[in-house]
């Protein structure tokens, strides 16, 4: 049982849906057993015994979810950003990922990543590891220790990959996957769980996909992969799978695209209307990764069409296709590329508003953990629930942001302060970070500034 019970006071902002932002200038959030009980204009009497954590005047927002990231690529982020996807994979990504066979290297690299994740604004992530079981286990253990919530996937790839990063056969890949699941599911992790991670159709044979479908059903695992990212890649999939009706169908035919399988597909930049309809109907989440799509010349994902079609959508950094891990940055990138799409590609697709981008990076992606968490944290302890909102029932993931350094000659509304804090995002302004009600990070200077728990006015 989580014993995180408190009331947190501050200038609270969270989404009440894709288009609306709720703002309470002086709000009182209630956290009971790590779960939000809602936001109130004054402390509710029934929680009068809960200690008050007073962040009056500071912005308090839900934690952010990175729906798509490659943990081993963090080591070379912001390098080779002048290449296209397939060239970049072959010259930089695959050689780097091959290094994770060496656990010492993996530990050095993953330590840097996990420290940075802990100090940034994201509280949850879906992480690709590599094909290597020991390194995937190491990463998952480090994530668990960090207090962040994550799904970590040992990657499957048995074709069209360099020898240094290609599993010997479908059978070898499936056997390694079973070994990894046995190890992962044997741990008593609270915040970390495995997720099936076939890299993408070009690197997974039919036999491998068939076998993964069997494993998925046996263990009830969620799935994380790539879909319709880049035009050359889509043409390649058409060559590899001439019998399918499209890229999405190459997953769907193995029952590995939504439906009863909680699924995240990164990108969907080139998904046509039929594929978008299929994804929406099967409840697949699109991880919209605008910075990566720009860096790797992939295109501009039709985020407006996703939303209009009722698709589930969140944001991803896609590090190291994206150089920045912060989902605040992904929010601003999503707005910017949507404006370019409206101006240059499709005038009918209205650009995203700030409210929509904020929703995508919080509750949009955070809702994935409701269905997927329940799928793997069976029986024993309570797994993570949905995050990204302070509505009652959401896990209490929260960031406290001190934006007092962003001076303004005239007073700004809380909503405008939030927009500016997102656009000018600086991790040094995150003075406290809670995940499932636990304080996992706070700035040292905050120790002198935080008022000790005290009685709220009027109690
Ligand atoms: Zn990716």
CA 320 to ligand 1 center in whole angstroms: 8
Which SS3 state, helix, strand or coil, does residue 445 take? Answer: coil
| Mean of all residue pLDDT scores within the chain | 94
What's the Cα-to-Cα distance from 39 to each of 26, 31, 159, 175, rounded to whole Å? 10, 10, 51, 48
CA 108 to chain centre: 23
Q: What is the pLDDT of residues 112-123, one digit of tens each?
A: 999 999 999 999
CA–centroid distance, 255 to ligand 1, in Å, is 21
- Sheet with 20-32, strands from edge to edge, namely 35-40, 20-32, 6-17, 52-62, 398-401, 430-435, 438-442
Give me ligand 1 centre to Cα 36, in Å.
Answer: 32
Which protein residues have their CB within 5 A of the ion that is ligand 1? 266, 318
Domain annotation for the chain: domains and CATH numbers: 6-63+386-449 (2.30.40.10), 64-352 (3.20.20.140)
Angle between helices 103-119 and 133-146 (to 10 degrees): 30
Q: What distance in angstroms lies between residue 318's CA and the mean position of ligand 1's atoms?
A: 5
Distance (angstroms) between ligand 1 centre and the Cα of 455 equals 47
User: Residue 84 has what pLDDT?
Assistant: 87
User: What distance in angstroms lies between residue 252's CA and the mean position of ligand 1's atoms?
Assistant: 19
What spacing in Å lies between the alpha carbon of 323 and ligand 1's midpoint?
12
Q: How far is the CA of 456 from the centre of ligand 1 (A)?
A: 46
pLDDT value, residue 3? 60
> pTM here?
0.95
Distance from the CA of 9 to the center of ligand 1, in angstroms? 38
Query: Per-residue pLDDT tens for 144-156?
Result: 999 999 999 999 9
What is the whole-number distance in angstroms between the Cα of residue 265 and the centre of ligand 1?
Answer: 9
| pLDDT digits (tens), the chain, 459 positions | 446 899 999 999 999 999 999 999 999 999 999 999 999 999 999 999 999 999 999 999 999 999 999 999 999 999 999 888 888 999 999 999 999 999 999 999 999 999 999 999 999 999 999 999 999 999 999 999 999 999 999 999 999 999 999 999 999 999 999 999 999 999 999 999 999 999 999 999 999 999 999 999 999 999 999 999 999 999 999 999 999 999 999 999 999 999 999 999 999 999 999 999 999 999 999 999 999 999 999 999 999 999 999 999 999 999 999 999 999 999 999 999 999 999 999 999 999 999 999 999 999 999 999 877 666 665 556 789 999 999 999 999 999 999 999 999 999 999 999 999 999 999 999 999 999 999 999 987 444 344 443 434 433
CA of 457 to the centre of ligand 1 (A): 49
* Helix segments in 403-445, DSSP class H: 414-423
């Amino acid at each position: 049982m989580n014993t995180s019970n408190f009331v947190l006071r501050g200038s609270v902002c969270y989404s009440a849906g894709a288009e609306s932002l709720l703002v309470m200038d002086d709000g009182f959030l209630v956290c009971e057993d790590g779960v939000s009980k809602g936001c109130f204009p004054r402390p509710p009497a029934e929680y009068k015994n809960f200690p008050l954590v007073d962040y009056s005047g500071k912005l308090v927002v839900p934690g952010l979810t990175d729906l798509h990231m490659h943990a081993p690529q963090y080591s070379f982020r912001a390098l080779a950003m002048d290449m296209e996807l397939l060239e970049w994979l072959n010259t930089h990504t695959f050689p780097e990922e091959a290094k994770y066979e060496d656990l010492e290297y993996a530990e050095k690299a993953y330590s840097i990543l996990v420290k940075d994740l802990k100090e940034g604004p994201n509280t949850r992530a879906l992480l690709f590891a590599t094909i290597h079981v020991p390194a995937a286990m190491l990463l998952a253990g480090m994530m668990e220790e960090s207090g962040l919530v994550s799904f970590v996937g040992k990657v499957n790839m048995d074709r069209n990959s360099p020898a240094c990063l290609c599993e010997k056969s479908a059978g070898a890949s499936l056997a390694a996957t079973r070994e990894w699941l046995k190890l992962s599911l044997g741990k008593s992790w609270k915040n970390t769980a495995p997720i099936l991670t076939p890299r993408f159709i070009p690197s997974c044979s039919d036999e491998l996909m068939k076998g993964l479908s069997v494993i998925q059903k046996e263990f009830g695992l969620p799935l994380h992969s790539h879909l319709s990212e880049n035009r050359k890649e889509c043409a390649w999939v058409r060559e590899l799978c001439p019998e399918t009706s499209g890229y999405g169908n190459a997953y769907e035919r193995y029952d590995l695209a939504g439906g009863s399988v909680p699924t995240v597909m990164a990108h969907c930049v080139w998904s046509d209307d039929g594929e978008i309809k299929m994804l929406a109907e099967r409840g697949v989440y699109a991880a919209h990764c605008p910075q990566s799509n720009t860096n790797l010349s992939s295109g501009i994902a039709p985020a407006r069409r996703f939303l209009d079609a009722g698709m589930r959508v969140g944001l991803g950094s896609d590090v190291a296709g994206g150089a920045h891990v912060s989902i605040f940055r992904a929010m601003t990138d999503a707005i910017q590329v949507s404006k370019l799409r409206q101006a240059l590609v499709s005038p009918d697709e209205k650009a995203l508003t700030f409210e929509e981008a904020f929703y995508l990076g919080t509750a949009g992606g955070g809702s994935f953990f409701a269905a997927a968490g329940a799928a793997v944290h069976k029986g024993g302890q309570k797994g993570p629930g949905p995050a990204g909102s302070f509505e009652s029932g959401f896990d209490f993931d929260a960031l406290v942001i001190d934006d007092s350094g962003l001076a303004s000659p005239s007073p700004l509304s809380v909503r405008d302060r939030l927009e500016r804090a997102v656009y000018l995002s600086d991790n040094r302004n995150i003075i406290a970070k809670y995940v499932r009600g636990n304080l996992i990070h706070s700035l040292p200077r905050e120790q002198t500034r935080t008022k000790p728990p005290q009685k709220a006015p009027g109690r």
